[in-house]
Amino acid sequence: MEKLRVLIGRERIAAKVAEMGQRISQDFAGEPVVLIGVLKGATIFLADLARQITLDVSFDFIAVSSYGTAKQQSGEVKLVKDVDRSMEGRNIILVEDILDTGLTLTYIQSMLRAHQPKSLRIAALLDKVSRRTEPIHGDYVGFEIPDEFVVGYGLDFAERYRNLPDICVLESGPESE
């Protein structure tokens, strides 16, 4: 049975997300933005972040699949669901739960650049800086975390735990690294 340890509690998450929303609101003052959430992990973060942004906001979602086990990615990313509308001339904020190796967001970023948006920024709630293999960084980053597998607040382990209100470290599991 897995054990959960709270790494970042709900109050700290809420305060940080509010701060991120304020920064985005200031940076894009007077302009509309499109939040593009990466399914499914980013949904809870996107829902909270959007309500902290005082601009004209619209949503879109993309889904990718990456091959590998639940905890380890293989490095191959495949588009499963594209955006619904053209992003040409728009201010895009790509919303992701966590930046790990950076492979996922590097792939999505280059795909979205082909739309010729006005601007393209990345908002990631969590950042495992030490795991990065790609030269990519978040423009709005919530928390830098150590190389531990985390769940909750949208993040899953084999589709479980997304509904936990806190971000927790999954200490041991049936499939440990």
DSSP lists the bridge partners of residue 57 as 33
| C-alpha distance from residue 83 to each of 34, 45, 96, 97, 132 (Å) | 11, 18, 15, 18, 26
Q: What is the distance of C-alpha 66 from the center of its chain?
A: 15
DSSP lists the bridge partners of residue 61 as 37
The distance of closest approach from Cβ of residue 41 to ligand IMP in the complex, given in angstroms and rounded to an integer, is: 5
The distance of closest approach from Cβ of residue 93 to ligand IMP in the complex, given in angstroms and rounded to an integer, is: 16
Interface with ligand IMP (CB under 6 A), residue from 20, 24, 35, 100: 100
167 binds ligand IMP (CB under 6 A): no
The distance of closest approach from Cβ of residue 96 to Mg ion in the complex, given in angstroms and rounded to an integer, is: 7
91 binds ligand IMP (CB under 6 A): no
Q: Rounded to an integer, what distance in angstroms lies between the CA atom of residue 133 and that of residue 17?
A: 26
What sections of 30-155 are H helices per DSSP?
43-50, 103-113
Q: Which of residues 33-52 bind ligand IMP (CB under 6 A)?
A: 41
Q: Which is nearer to ligand IMP, 28 or 138 (CB)?
A: 138
Q: Which of residues 49-88 bind ligand IMP (CB under 6 A)?
A: 73
Which residues of this protein are in contact with ligand IMP, per CB under 6 A? Answer: 41, 73, 96-104, 149-151, 155
